Each structure stands twice: as C-alpha cells, then as structure tokens.
Amino acid sequence: MEMLRTSGPIAACIALLSIASMLARPAAADTAAEFYKGKTVALISGSAAGGGYDLYVRLLADALRKHMPGSPAVIVQNRVGAGGLAALDYVYNVAPKDGTYVIMPFNVDPMYAVLQPDRVRFDLRQLVWLGKMAELSNVLAVTKEAGVASIEEAASREVIMAGSGEGSQTSMIPKLINSLASTRFRVVSGYKGTASMMLSMQRGETQGRVGSWYSFKVSHSDLVREGRLVFLAQDGLRRHPDLPNVRLYEELVADPKARAIMRFVSFPVATSRALAIAPGVPADRVAALRGAFTAAMKDPELIETAAKRKMEIRASDHAEVERTLAELYATPPAIVEKIRAIIAVPKR
C-alpha cells in the first residue's frame, strides 16, 4: 500500500510539530535537574546532633547527594525545640516550598497531632512523603528476676517499671496495658534517659521498661543473648522479624475497642524514620526526590555504612506511609477520647 504523501504548508506544519515535540520531551525531563543544579537541599532534623533521628538523616545525606538530579549539595540542619514540632512547623509553614527542604518528623508527631489537633499548625496527610528508612520497634521488657514470662503473669503480681516522665511511652504504655489487660505494672518516673533506666533495672530498683528493640539489641546484646531480659510485647502494626514470637500490643487484648486503642499507640513505629517535604512542591521535583530516596535506600555504600554503625534499614515507599496516616487519622473520635482519658497527653 502506498504511504500517504504530504507537501506544501501541511507538510511544513507537521515537521514543525514533530520537531517541537522532540524538543519538549528532554526539556521536561531536565526541569528538575536544571532546578537543583547549584542548589542546596537541607535535611531538617528535629533532634540535636548525635541523636537517633540526626544519625539517620546524616546517613541519608551522603547517599542522597549521589542520586539527586543536578547534583545539589545536601546538608543537615538541626532545628531543636517543642519536642520536634519546631522543625516540622518550619518546613510546613515557613521554609520555601520548592523541594529544597526535607523533614524527618518524629514518629510520635502523627499520634499527638490526632490527640492534640488544636496545638499543631499542620496536617501530616498534606505533607508529600518520600518514604521511610526503617521501622524501629519498641518493646516492653522485664528482667528475668521480675518472675513474669507473659502479660498474663504480669496481671498476677506487681512489676516495677522505670519511666522517664508522664506522657512518655515509658509511662504511657504500662498504664494503658494496666487499664486494658489488668496488669499490675507500677511506673516509677523521673529517670533521665535510657542509661539511667537500664542501670535501675540492673541494680534491682526497677524490673523493666519500655524502650527501643534496636537499643536493647545493640547496646545490651549480652543481656539479650544470656536470656536475662524477657520481652512481653512489642508495638507496631506487624511483628519485627527479630521478634516473631513476641505479641503486638493489640494482640494482648480481645475487646475490639481495646485493640483499637493499642493499635493507635502502635502507629509511631509505622511512621518512624519517614521523610517528607511540604505540600506545594512542583511534581517534577517530587518525582526527583522520591527517585533519589529510593535509589539511596538501595545504595550499597549506605547499606554497608548502616551495617557498620549497627543502624537498622527497613525501607518502604511513600504509599505505605500515606496508608498508615490515613488509618491513623480515621481513628473514631470515641477511641481518641478514651485514650485521652487513660493517659496524660503531654503538651508539646
């Protein structure tokens, strides 16, 4: 069959449109690279230098720099204050919404935003999420000397728990479990940090605490290896691979409302070490940042460095963070009110 031939003005128009189309494609693809060339991307940490969030942000900075189009400089800025809310408020409401500011919110920020909506000036569902680097689970641990091997046994005898202060998870979780599972945890508050709580347990002043599984595994591996610690429960929406036989908080109770409460306080794990940018950033820069984050999480150098520093990496994409936040914000008001009635919600 003979192909249709064109000539004259029609052919000239087709040729011009074809050239314009070819020129437009690489121009669109290069938009993000052109923007980021010579720019500086700031990773905002709400914790002080050397803190857990700060360490993860700095680990990411080195890898992100390698994978960003336009090869911008990537730096870390520490904005400490208001329990991490100062940093989040800055990125959401003050910093330019151009894709040069990335925030790693504290994992409890979404939970407290639902519990105290009148105290925040942001909606975490409106942030543009890049993904998360890890799920850092907390556990409720007791010493072997406490004489309890399960939550059910903790309902038959008093167990003294070390706590850092009202409103902290070290205080909140034992009190919630007492209310919902009839355990007899007695929280002694006022300990200044993890080290002092662990020392109190080793001295026999207290018999347990709620804390990071990562911290127990890395900093107290001898106690874990020798079986001198018993892990009664863990938070999160799924069991940690290291702890397949340790029940989730929500698995400790049968009543649907009680399970909903325990699931609510487990959401921070699902949003731990997640990164986001402010709403309003152009779509091509969002795509560039998400692509660079995904590549960074697979970067052999980052993985090797994390292993040397004993930092856990369990990455997932932005869609999982978004699903988690949607479920958290959909918690029925009656459940939120019940949680407020049980625990002392700290003002941040």
pLDDT in tens, 222-269: 999 999 999 999 999 999 999 999 999 999 999 999 999 999 999 988
Which residue among 268, 290, 317 closes a domain?
Answer: 268
Q: Write out the residue range of the structural domain in which residue 53 sits.
A: 32-134+272-330
Q: Can you spell out the DSSP letters for 264-300?
A: HTTHHHHTTTEEEE-TT--HHHHHHHHHHHHHHHT-H
Examine the fold and report which residue of 268, 287, 307 is the final residue of a domain before the chain moves on.
Answer: 268
**pTM of the entire predicted model:** 0.82
What is the band of 345 on the pLDDT scale with cuts at 50, 70, 90? low
Q: Is 264 exposed, middle or buried (0-12, 13-18, 19+ CB in 10 A)?
A: buried
Beta strands in the chain (DSSP E): 40-45, 73-78, 101-104, 128-132, 138-143, 159-162, 185-188, 208-212, 229-234, 274-277, 316-317
**How many domains are contained in the chain?**
2
Domain assignment present for 320: yes
Indicate whether 9 pLDDT > 60: no
pLDDT of residue 17: 44
User: How many CB atoms sit inside 10 A of residue 301's CB?
Assistant: 11
Q: Residue 203: give its domain's CATH number.
A: 3.40.190.10
Could you tell me if 156 and 260 lie in one domain?
yes
Using an 8 Å Cβ cutoff, are 239 and 248 in contact? yes
Tokens of 254: 């049968």
Please tell me whether residues 48 and 97 are part of one structural domain: yes
Length of the chain (residues): 348
- Assess whether 145 and 199 both reside in one domain: yes
Same structural domain, 155 and 242: yes
Residues 259, 301 share a domain: no
Residue 39 within any structural domain of the chain: yes
Residue with tokens 């980052």: 302
- Asked whether residue 19 is assigned to any structural domain, the reply reads no
Whether 110 and 130 map to the same domain: the answer is: yes
Higher pLDDT among residues 28 and 175, named by residue = 175
Q: Mark whether 322 and 214 lie in a shared domain.
A: no
Q: Is 233 part of any domain?
A: yes
* Higher-confidence position of 85 and 283: 283
Same-domain pairing of 325 and 238: no
Do 100 and 60 share a structural domain? Answer: yes
User: Is a pLDDT exceeding 60 seen at residue 27?
Assistant: no
Residues 157 and 239 in one domain: yes
* Residue 176: inside a domain: yes
Q: What is the pLDDT of residue 3?
A: 41
Residue 18 lies in a domain: no
Cα 132 from Cα 282, distance rounded (Å)? 21
Cβ count within 10 A of residue 123: 13
127 and 189 part of one domain: no
Per-residue burial over 169-182, b = 16 or more CB atoms within 10 Å of its CB, e = otherwise: bbbbbbbbbbebbe
pLDDT of residue 227: 94
